[in-house]
Structure 1
Amino acid sequence: MPRLTIVTDAWHPQVNGVVRSIENTNRELAAMGVEVSMITPQPFPSIPMPTYPEIRLSLARYTQVARAIENNRPDYMHIATEGPLGLWARRWCLKHGMPFSTSYHTRFPEYVAARAPIPLSWLYAYVRWFHNRGGACMVATESLRRELAEKGLNNLCLWSRGIDTALFRPRPQVENPLNLPRPIFMTVGRVAVEKNLPAFLDLDLPGSKVVVGDGPARTELEAHYPRVHFTGVKTGEDLAETYAQADVFVFPSKTDTFGNTILEAMASGVPVAAFPVTGPVDIIPAESGAGALDDDLKAACLKALHCSREKARALAETFSWQAATTQFLDNVIEAKTQARRKRLLLRQSGRQIGA
């Protein structure tokens, strides 16, 4: 049984796309016969991230991470995030000649720049430094791969996402969900600056607006938008039932690398309104009838009201975690294969020079 160690700075109790993606991938990897071990912030001391206390930054020492990796005796290494644990794992891999893959889950430079006065050029230099030494950097969409290639990232490969279509499914709709008048325009996710929520909350739309989730911007936004209904975090059946009551799912973010919530909404039979940016343009083809993309978000919302709930569900059903995990595992194996090829070529060139 092959052994894979995944290192991630994003883990429970965080509720986000990174955590959900790794959880679902681990479940499928186990079914494929892969033994997965995790290195996460949970066993280490941590501090809250400035401006975003819900995210904890691990204070693990290099020796602790190195010992954890060595105890796992991995055949393959995957580093999911660019945080403290990811840095220590990268250092260990380079020191011991262990090939590794990485993934680009979030727009790290843009998220940091939104919270600290650091030039984007510096942050992208860090991202190139971090990812380009790996054998494969996984991205969720083709448009993101093109974008990152233009910024100098190498070894980019696709790792799509899936959806639990048994949990997230169409359900009977009630007349006034959450005691609110229809139509219900809903968004789900972290309530944070990078999600661009005012672009949705400022719109003059019929019916009601609902925000599901929590985050550092919630208190300010609740005060500024008293007519918007904020539910807080929902999970499991409660979340799935809430999705299914929406008439339109609104995705105002322009910085997400995919948009797992788009799949959750469509699987629930809810058409999507979004900007035509990375993530939405990759998931929702123009001819799909499952949603509406427009630079004018209000226009997209009103168009989506007339889109097909059946077509939204049908499109979501084309995304499976089994297929996505096969992609992931192929990338992990290829990263090690590429490293072996490079070492072989270096040895051959060295012999030729010495001949």
Structure 2
Amino acid sequence: MRKQILILLGFSFSLIACQQNEEIGSVEDNANPNELTTRAASMRRVPTQAEKDNLKKDFPNLDVNNISVTGEATGTYNCIAYSMGITNKWIDPESFYNDFIEQYKNAKTLYGSSCNYEQTSTEGSNATVDGWGTSSIDMTHGSVVYSSGTWESKLGRYLRITHKRSELSGTLYGRILVSFIESRTKTDMSEIKELAKQIAQEDIELSDAEKQAVIDKAANINCEVKTKFNDLFNSWNEEISINPQTKYSSSTLAYTTLPQFKEMQAMGKNIIPLIMEKLLDEDNFFLLPLYDAIQTDSQLKISYKKGDAKILEGEQNKAKRTVRLWLSLSGN
């Protein structure tokens, strides 16, 4: 029930942001109302020197002496979700340019954002969201306007920061390839409430019995296999957080390029119960690509059809749904 209320409140707040342009108080240097309402006006802070050094090394065009940290590092949500006003789920970006645009054009339907977005000129001053990519087949990032002349980005698992519009350009994110504004089509509040209700119904909580069943299956795995897997997983997770190619990435698929992933994949289907055990912690949703790479039975994988409401769930809920599906159909 608490999650349902939070989701509904989040939608209501984002709705206000999409339909109103007036200032909301004088909090945080008159920051964008959309930014304020989606993160409840959390405090800004000055980045530490170590953070400045890391950011300058990885984003050479960033003026690190003129940025603020607006959110701490977390893997709960990424830049795509945040640019849509969502902070409770991780949404992988579509790699292809046209598919990426469709994500924003249908943000309300696909992900439960309070509004859809319309494409606008990348050269204009009216854009509220920018989409980044290294090419038309490698879309990488989404940034959102913060206040006049200032933008904001959630950097993968890492910090959320303010920056000038194009300062993140470079080898990691590429450059701004597309820009959006909130759709002018008025959003019906009754639709938002119904959508929130639908999403709440889709929210999964694994039962104690389901969790114990997974734990029991994992306990049967050979100790040497379990130790090797855990060591590789811990090393992989650490590498994700320090390697610039993954640390700032909004896509969990980027994590598959690391050597530890390849080593775990080579261990084969025997480690699936161990993957399921890790997925009991929703913070480990980034293991889903490993499961998909190892699992050869398509009936034991979660996939979505276009327009499927379950797309709304995000990667965390998808992980729990995967565990439930595996338990019910695998016969393990």
Query: What TM-score range do you get, normalising by the shorter chain?
Result: under 0.3
TM-score by length of 2: 0.26
Between 1 and 2, higher relative CO (CA 8 Å, sep ≥ 6) is seen in 2
Higher normalized helix content (fraction of residues): 2
Higher CA-based Rg: 1
TM-score by length of 1: 0.25
Higher normalized strand content (fraction of residues): 1
